Amino acid sequence: MIFILPTGVDYQTRRYPTVTFTIMGICTLLWLVQLILHIANGVEVDEWFLEYLWYTPALSHWWTHLTWMFVHDGFFHLAGNMIYLFLFGACVEDSIGRPRFIALFLLTGLSSELIHVTVTAGHFASEIPLGGASGAISGCIGAFLLLMAKSKIEFKYFIFIFFRFFSGEFFLAAWLVISGWFLMDLLQMFLAGPDAGVAFGAHVGGTLSGILLMLVQKAFPTRFPDEDEEVEEIRMVPPQPAVATARPVEQKRFRIPTPQPVEKPAIYLHIAGAQSGPFTYAQIGQMFATGEIPPEALYWREGMADWSPSAELRQLAS
């Protein structure tokens, strides 16, 4: 028996993943509420959740177009989705900012729902309920593919053979892993029957919509008013020179050298999906001079709420 799980990404976030953790909290809370009520009242609770919180095309309650993204069928369904949401959602949230990440999660969830209904027998007359965050999470994975294709994903494996246990880890390129996942979902979307139990169409739709939204974001970059952070200027005050008292016998003047402030590297760059740094302003100026920083690059330093275009950095470093 072999278990393989993704456990890490070689990307260091610079902000607390507030939105990602909030979504994880909502999903977990709903599952716990359903579990507690199920223990107290039996299957009637599960039937109520399926009817009023899961999305069933034939019923078409308007609110279920959103609520289905936060409900799950059992612990392993929830745990698996939360692992992927934490790994990829936190990175995407850090890269594009919290407001855009909220929009990305909801829009890719709705897109995955539409693709699922399109490829499902019966379409909008189908009575098969849809639930789980995997469609929107697939959107996060699609966005991650465009933002950080060159990064690597860490996997842990666990092997049980004849009462013996083995474990280890390995790394694979993100573009290779995500491409493999997408092709598997695409194949199973066509091969799986209506009783497959997994919404492969939602996975495919979510991934494609995540990629599409990132292409739009790159083509038409926008900024929210609350993201206009104030760039903290480095202001280093040199210490006051000591006063040299002339001795009565010696008529010499001593010039006390003023120590020069040493700039601390504090600037990080995000170029073609790869993060590097920290650098000083002097280093950044040299990199601009040699053409190492392309126009589409982003930068971040402590005190900033979000990554910003490198054009601003060129002015600060000049």
CATH number at residue 190: 1.20.1540.10
Confidence of residue 225 (pLDDT cuts 50, 70, 90): low
Q: Are 164 and 273 found together in one domain?
A: no
Q: Are 195 and 239 found together in one domain?
A: no
Does the pLDDT of residue 134 top 50, yes or no? Answer: yes
Q: What is the pLDDT of residue 202?
A: 94
**For all residues of the chain together, what is the average pLDDT?**
84
**Cis peptide upstream of residue 278 (ω within 30 degrees of 0):** yes
Q: Are 213 and 272 found together in one domain?
A: no
Does the pLDDT of residue 246 top 90, yes or no? Answer: no
Sheet arrangement for strand 2-9 = 2-9, 152-161, 164-173
Pick 49 or 265 by higher pLDDT: 49
Instruction: Determine, yes or no, domain membership for 254.
Output: no
Q: What is the pLDDT of residue 193?
A: 64
The average pLDDT across 252-263 equals 52
Confidence of residue 117 (pLDDT cuts 50, 70, 90): very high
CB count in 10 Å sphere of residue 259: 10
Q: Are 179 and 230 found together in one domain?
A: no
Q: What is the pLDDT of residue 194?
A: 58
Give the integer Cα–Cα distance in Å for 196 and 105.
25
Q: What is the pLDDT of residue 314?
A: 74
Q: Are 212 and 232 found together in one domain?
A: no
Instruction: Determine, yes or no, domain membership for 284.
Output: yes
Q: Are 68 and 123 found together in one domain?
A: yes
Give the integer Cα–Cα distance in Å for 199 and 196.
8
Q: What residue has token string 């490829």?
A: 119
Instruction: Determine, yes or no, domain membership for 59.
Output: yes
Residue 50: burial class (beta carbons within 10 Å; 0-12, 13-18, 19+): middle
Confidence of residue 196 (pLDDT cuts 50, 70, 90): low
Structural domains of the chain, count? 2
Q: Are 215 and 284 found together in one domain?
A: no
Q: 49: domain range?
A: 2-219
Lowest-confidence range among 95-104, 110-119, 304-313?
A: 304-313
What CATH number has the domain bearing residue 298? 3.30.1490
Residues paired with residue 71 on neighbouring β-strands, in sequence order: none
- Nearest Cα to 53, choosing from 44, 66, 39? 66
Q: What is the pLDDT of residue 233?
A: 37
Confidence of residue 255 (pLDDT cuts 50, 70, 90): low
Please write down the HEC assignment for all residues of the chain.
Answer: CEEEEEEEECCCCCCCCHHHHHHHHHHHHHHHHHHHHHHHHCHHHHHHHHHHCCECCCCCCCCHHHHHHHCCCCHHHHHHHHHHHHHHHHHHHHHHCHHHHHHHHHHHHHHHHHHHHHHCCCHHHCCCCECCCHHHHHHHHHHHHHHCCCCEEEEEEEEEECCEEEEEEEEEEHHHHHHHHHHHHHHHHHHCCCCCCCCHHHHHHHHHHHHHHHHHHHHCCCCCHHHCCCCCCCCCCCCCCCCCCCCCCCCCCCCCCCCCCCCCCCEEEEECCEEEEEECHHHHHHHHHCCCCCCCCEEEECCCCCCEEHHHHHHHHC
Tokens at 109, concatenated? 């969830």
Terminal CA-to-CA distance of the chain, rounded, Å? 59
Instruction: Determine, yes or no, domain membership for 9.
Output: yes
Does the pLDDT of residue 235 top 50, yes or no? Answer: no
Residues paired with residue 130 on neighbouring β-strands, in sequence order: 55
Confidence of residue 288 (pLDDT cuts 50, 70, 90): confident
Q: Are 43 and 178 found together in one domain?
A: yes
Q: Are 181 and 42 found together in one domain?
A: yes
Task: Tell me the pLDDT tens digit for each residue of 5-64.
Answer: 999 998 888 889 999 999 999 999 999 999 999 999 888 999 999 999 999 999 878 999
CA distances from 79 to 63, 83, 184, 194, 305 (A): 24, 6, 21, 24, 30
Confidence of residue 301 (pLDDT cuts 50, 70, 90): confident
